[in-house]
Amino acid sequence: MPIRDTFADIKTATLAHLDEHGCGCYPYSSGSLLAVLAATARAGTVVELGTALGYSAAWFASTGAHVHTIDRDPTHTGQARHHLAKHRLTGRVTFHTGEGLDILSTLATGGADVAFFDGYAPTAAAVDALGATLRPGGLLIAANMTLGGDAGAIHGRLADWWHADLGETLLAVKPH
């Protein structure tokens, strides 16, 4: 039996926005996978780069975690606020509008349980900055690894992390 997507309305709205604006706000392929990973990590805090219209943030927040989500496009952040409010999840999400590296440099280091990269093609600098927010044993989830970017350099940087290459997505656990 197919799993029901609790936040299918946000995914649909994101795809419609993408069609209209061509702005590259592709929703993550499996929100439920993100929720399973956050729940397994018993995440209290999640840091996300790439809010778009709030699809992945909603899934993370649904596990009870508090989500710090970052996007440089204020239209996306505004629409994400609307969607999270509709699902009564606003209290579990802090929206940051601005350039990813700038915002990440203002967030606490070493305390997050999960960090999620879902900007466009991954950059080593973004993965480093997200990794810095994680506690030892925290989980890094990097999407879009097949889009190019710094994928090779990122694999090198995470060589001493437990990691699993799922193709489009890379999972890595920060060493203690």
37-66 residues in contact with ligand SAM (CB under 6 A) are 50, 52-53, 55-56
Question: In whole angstroms, what is the distance from residue 122 CA to residue 107 CA?
Answer: 19
* Amino acid (one-letter) located at 156: G
Stretch that binds ligand SAM, among 22-30, 82-90, 146-154, 167-175 (CB under 6 A): 22-30
* Of 73, 153, 155, 157, the one binding ligand SAM by CB under 6 A: 73
Site membership for ligand SAM, residue 128 (CB under 6 A): no
Selection from 63, 74, 127, 115 nearest residue 96 by Cα = 74
Phi first, then psi, for residue 153 (nearest 5°) are: -65, -35
Q: Does residue 122 bind ligand SAM (CB under 6 A)?
A: no
Closest distance between ligand SAM and the C-beta of residue 138, in Å? 18
DSSP states of 43-60 as a string? Answer: -SEEEEE--TTSHHHHHH
CB of 72 to ligand SAM, least distance (A): 4
How many helices (H) and strands (E) are present in the chain, helices listed first? 7, 7
Q: Which residues bind ligand SAM (CB under 6 A)?
A: 14, 25-28, 50, 52-53, 55-56, 70-73, 76, 99-100, 118-120
